[in-house]
């Protein structure tokens, strides 16, 4: 499907397309790319999250400010909950609603809301990364530094008011994790 992805002038993207995920409900393909020629306004060297509809051949940049301006820093990860029509993304951009952090995107309405961001974290990046959204978008796992600065795995329930029941799932024997590869069960636990 992404083989047919071209820029507005018919050229191939000028940077790789990465982390592609197919939404089996809408048939849209979501991916990360730092290409500057996919849509107008992309900043050189900044990785954005895109949604591509292969049927209508339309491309949308999902990592942009409410004004439509491209995000001013990388979107580093995303997780799709196709069954629920939601996507969570991690961005380092300071020009989104809450600054750097995690955001939940409703794929049907296009609305985006901050989940865990600098705005909610005293102005500093909370460092939450590698988000994993449960298939029904009722649970979220991610890694982030704990109060001592050690990288840990956290889980939270997701509701209309945002994250709740935030729990630190590690450390094991007081250790920091080296890398995170979490998964949530079908019921979000």
13 confidence band (pLDDT: 50, 70, 90): confident
Examine the pLDDT at 178 and tell me if it is beyond 60: no
Report how far residue 5's alpha carbon sits from residue 59's, in angstroms, rounded to the nearest whole number. Answer: 9
**Mean pLDDT, the chain, whole residue set:** 85
- DSSP states of 56-120 as a string? TTEEEE-SB-TTSPBPSS-EEEEEEEGGGTEEEEEE--SSSTTSSEEEEEETTT--EEEEEETGG
Q: For residue range 106-142, what is the model confidence (pLDDT) as tens digits? A: 998 989 999 999 998 888 899 999 999 988 889 999 9
Rounded to two decimals, what is the model's pTM?
A: 0.86
| Residue 33 preceded by cis peptide, ω within 30 | no
Return d(Cα 46, Cα 20) in angstroms, integer. Answer: 17
**How much is the pLDDT for 25?**
84
Predicted confidence (pLDDT) at residue 89 exceeds the cutoff of 90: yes
Q: What is the mean pLDDT of residues 168-178?
A: 63
Strands 86-91 and 75-81, bridge-based pairing: antiparallel
Residue 87 confidence (pLDDT): 95
Residue 152 has pLDDT above 60, yes or no: yes
The C-alpha atoms of residue 73 and residue 100 are separated, in whole angstroms, by: 9
**pLDDT for 24-76, tens place per residue?**
888 899 999 999 888 888 878 899 999 999 888 899 999 999 898 999 999 99
Q: Which of 92 and 37 is assigned the larger pLDDT? A: 92
60 with 40: CB under 8 angstroms? no
Of the two residues 184 and 6, the one the predictor is more confident about is: 6
């Amino acid at each position: 499907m992404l083989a047919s992805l071209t820029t507005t002038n018919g050229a191939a993207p000028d940077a790789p397309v990465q982390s592609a995920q197919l939404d089996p409900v809408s048939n849209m393909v979501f991916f990360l790319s730092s290409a500057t020629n996919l849509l107008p306004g992309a900043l050189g060297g900044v990785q954005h999250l895109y949604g591509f509809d292969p049927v209508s051949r339309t491309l949308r940049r999902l990592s942009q400010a409410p004004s439509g301006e491209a995000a001013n820093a990388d979107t580093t990860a995303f997780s799709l909950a196709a069954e629920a029509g939601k996507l969570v993304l991690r961005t380092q951009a300071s020009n989104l609603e809450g600054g750097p952090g995690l955001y939940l995107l409703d794929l049907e309405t296009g609305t985006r809301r901050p989940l865990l961001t600098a705005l909610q974290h005293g102005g500093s990046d909370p460092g939450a990364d590698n988000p994993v959204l449960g298939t029904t978008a009722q649970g979220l796992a991610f890694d982030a530094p704990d109060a001592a600065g050690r990288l840990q795995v956290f889980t939270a329930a997701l509701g209309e008011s945002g994250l709740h029941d935030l729990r630190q799932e590690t450390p094991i024997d007081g250790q920091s994790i080296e890398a995170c590869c979490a998964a949530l069960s079908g019921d979000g636990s």
